[in-house]
Structure 1
């Protein structure tokens, strides 16, 4: 392995460890209730929506059907993992059937 590649891998590992360790240190100091706690609980959903929304807006019928299937699966099951699985399966079959 070239020394440059090894150095890059070690550098990325160090940065990843520092980010995670910093997160653990900061998390212990965050309030368990109040505005900040409520705000922090909503971050994962907001990030997920920010990642998915551009694909839905720029997509076609297959993506729109998958979005509908995902929303319906979540409303029925109230399980995020089940909803995501339903969306992945729905977009796969919709693309197969619609040629997307």
Structure 2
């Protein structure tokens, strides 16, 4: 097998074990402290920020506009539709702006 496939499989295994381990640890508690719950609820936004920030900072008008549209959509929509709207906006702008 190629080294790329091994890296993908290794990354998948580590991701699975991390998620499974987190589930095992949290399932041992009857109640989760509100601060822990708030931290867990903030994870998706933190991950999206770390993925989007470099593209927006080093990007051009298409990336900036897509980020603005996604931010506006995020005020009204849940996370999945917000990401879809932002991605669609970026594809359309990159195609039309060149």
Q: Tell me, yes or no, whether TM beats 0.5.
A: yes
Which residue does 2:72 correspond to in 1? 72
- What is the RMSD of the two structures over their aligned residues, measured on CA atoms? 2.6
Which residue does 1:40 correspond to in 2? 40
Instruction: Tell me, in whole angstroms, the C-alpha distance in 1 between the residues paired with 2:61 and 2:47.
Output: 24
Which residue does 2:93 correspond to in 1? 94
Instruction: Tell me, in whole angstroms, the C-alpha distance in 1 between the residues paired with 2:68 and 2:95.
Output: 17
Distance 1:90 1:26, change over 3 A: same
TM-score (norm 2): 0.74
Paired positions, count? 93
Gaps spanning 5+ residues in structure 1: where?
none
Instruction: Tell me, in whole angstroms, the C-alpha distance in 2 between the residues paired with 1:87 and 1:17.
Output: 27
State the 1:40 CA deviation.
2.0
